């Protein structure tokens, strides 16, 4: 997964640093700290334990967050 930087920022804007369509069509992101994911052993295990969170546009990204960006898919990628 691409690493943007460590300064924190709103998820939609951070997604835009990877690809502008992600910023414009951002819905939310599944987020988990890397150490929590490592302790769970897999994303599926983390999801079943309830440690994956859905965060919206106003969430401030923290260093160590692992996320899957959900977007509307509109536009060309």
Q: Which domains does the chain have, with CATH numbers?
A: 11-70 (3.10.20.30)
* Residue 68 confidence (pLDDT): 83
* Residue 4 confidence (pLDDT): 46
- When pLDDT is cut at 50, 70 and 90, the band that residue 50 belongs to is very high
pLDDT, one tens digit per residue, over 5-43 is: 455 555 556 555 555 656 666 778 889 999 999 999 999
Q: Which residue has the tokens 């440690």?
A: 51
**Which pTM value belongs to this model?**
0.61
**By the 8 A CB rule, do 26 and 69 touch?**
yes
């Amino acid at each position: 997964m691409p690493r943007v930087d460590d300064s924190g920022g709103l998820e939609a804007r951070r997604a835009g640093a990877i690809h502008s369509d992600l910023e414009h069509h951002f819905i939310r992101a599944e987020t988990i700290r890397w150490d929590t994911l490592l302790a769970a052993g897999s994303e599926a295990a983390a999801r079943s334990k309830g440690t994956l969170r859905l965060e919206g546009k106003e969430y401030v990204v923290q260093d160590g967050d692992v996320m899957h960006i959900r977007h509307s898919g509109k536009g060309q990628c």
